[in-house]
Structure 1
Amino acid sequence: MIVTSLPYSSLVRPPLAVAGHTDDVLDMVSGTLSEAERERAERFTRKRDRLDFVAAHLLVRHCAAELLGARVRTLTVVQRCEGCGQAHGRPWLAEAPEVSISLAHTSGYVCAVAGFGRVGVDAEHATNGPADERLVELALTPAEAKLVGDDNRRLIRQWVRKEALVKRGELTLDRLREADLSALSLEDGLSITLEWRGRHFVEWTAGTVIASAVTDEPAKLRLLGG
């Protein structure tokens, strides 16, 4: 693959996060997946999972194109695992490697973030009810566990934040307890912004979905389809 940088405005735009329900994204966002992405999509046995994957990969192109002031069709999303060499792992743009991108999908909902500097995003469904004790033990510090109590939505909010940090490249799943986010609010809100040790979180909810994007600078958030 020949990598060439795209010409774009010298004005550095703030990070951008975009999200929406899968069906809305597929209706509103156009684009074409790479051959590797199409092959991965075809491996999903459930149509719903396949559509979530496709929508998230189209959305991250849309997000990056808007950030760069570029056309969606000029961008190639690449994923290549450093361990096994297969087409998965942290995504990047072949034509603009200086821009970081991240994407996430959970049943019926997708989100993406793009920015200059490190970025990460995650989304999960979170119902009311008791917290999973095993997940608390895996992911939370004692201070976080005390704040979460037995509230599943609070637990998932912390989990999503830490998954976003993993995708940003500064945590791993076996070291989640090394990041203490107990200083951050756990209250539900349609859209909130938070700062933690120089990282900026933008968080939002959509029905049962809790989502969080973390960036170097405050990010703009756009929700598709209302």
Structure 2
Amino acid sequence: MFAAPVPGRTPSAGLAFPPLVPGRVHRWGGAALVLVRRADLDRAASRSPLLTPAEREVLDGLPARRRAEWVAGRVLAKELVAGVTGERAGGVEILPCADGSPRLSVPGLRISLSHTAEHVAAATAPGPVGVDVCETSSAPAVLRAADHVLHPGERRLAGTDPERLAAAWALKEAAVKAVRRGLAGEAPRRVRILGLTPPLLDGGHRALVRTAGTAVVALVLVPPTAGTR
């Protein structure tokens, strides 16, 4: 499913965030990240026998509107983990933890997933990892939620540019995923964005932001001592 891996690159002149080629595995900081267009992945997922019996049981309990994106995310993540480890994709199992975060059956690796109507992303790493995709078309929604999610300094960093607003949201979401918390309550405000270009977070969090068409994807790696469970 994937093209050849792309090594980490430094930002290119004139670009707010460097591009990520959809379908190519991007390796950075010990993590592997891939972003795929939903239209491409949905076609592959519809033919895929990769789900285990336990995963199919979870799928059967989901609302009909969520099933296609759930399958697409699992198929993408399984293919990514298989490419990283050499495991058979059909033997990789991803089930929800009690808090809803995905739990990977492969020892020594964590997994994170994200969906929009247009894209699906997956990331895997040996330690806590979070990935999030935000479409630039969601910038007005980010502005409406800014008082809850962003500190005043972070709002100034994001400004009104759709790509920067999407990046700020994706960074927050990826960071709280990595520590297995959600955007409800005070969790997002406990993660501070100190810079966007390049992305810089407090607390020892390491961050990457890339773009692909209308999508902005953020990857966050968190030290095990930073409140993860």
| 1:98 paired to 2:104 | no
What secondary structure sits across from 2:195 in the alignment? coil
Task: Label 1:28 to 1:130 Cα distance change in 2 as closer, same or farther (>3 A).
Answer: closer
**86, 105, 110: which one pairs with 1:69?**
86
Q: Which moved more, 1:116-125 or 1:50-59?
A: 50-59
- 1:44-69 deviation digits (Å, cap 9, x = unpaired): 434xx533221111111111122222
**203, 206, 217: which one pairs with 1:211?**
217
| 1:32 paired to 2:50 | yes
Q: Percent identity?
A: 31
The answer to whether the 8 A contact 1:128-1:153 is kept is no
Separation of aligned partners in 1, 2:115 and 2:103: 17
What secondary structure sits across from 2:194 in the alignment? coil
| Aligned position for 2:72 | 55
| 1:144 paired to 2:160 | no
CA RMSD of aligned residues (A): 2.8
Q: How many residues align?
A: 189
Matches within 5 A, 1:31-180: 32-41=50-59, 43-46=62-65, 49-82=66-99, 89-94=100-105, 96-127=106-137, 132-169=142-179, 172-173=182-183, 174-175=185-186, 176-180=188-192
Separation of aligned partners in 1, 2:110 and 2:85: 11
Give 1:31 shift: 5.0
Matches within 5 A, 1:180-199: 180-185=192-197, 194-197=199-202, 198-199=204-205
Give 1:209 shift: 1.6
What secondary structure sits across from 1:203 in the alignment? strand
Separation of aligned partners in 2, 1:139 and 1:156: 12
Task: Label 1:131 to 1:58 Cα distance change in 2 as closer, same or farther (>3 A).
Answer: closer
The answer to whether the 8 A contact 1:119-1:216 is kept is yes
Separation of aligned partners in 2, 1:79 and 1:149: 36
Separation of aligned partners in 2, 1:24 and 1:157: 24
| Aligned position for 1:15 | 31
The answer to whether the 8 A contact 1:78-1:92 is kept is yes
Separation of aligned partners in 2, 1:31 and 1:138: 41
Q: Which amino acid counterpart does residue 211 of structure 1 have in structure 2? A: V
* Structure 2 unmatched runs, 5+: 1-28, 224-229
Task: Label 1:33 to 1:200 Cα distance change in 2 as closer, same or farther (>3 A).
Answer: same
TM-score scaled by length of structure 1: 0.71
Separation of aligned partners in 1, 2:77 and 2:64: 23
* Structure 1 unmatched runs, 5+: 1-12, 83-88, 186-192, 218-226
Q: Which moved more, 1:72-81 or 1:201-210?
A: 201-210
Separation of aligned partners in 1, 2:44 and 2:208: 23
The answer to whether the 8 A contact 2:194-2:201 is kept is no
TM-score scaled by length of structure 2: 0.70
| Aligned position for 1:202 | 208
- 1:162-184 deviation digits (Å, cap 9, x = unpaired): 10011101654222122220323
Separation of aligned partners in 2, 1:27 and 1:184: 35
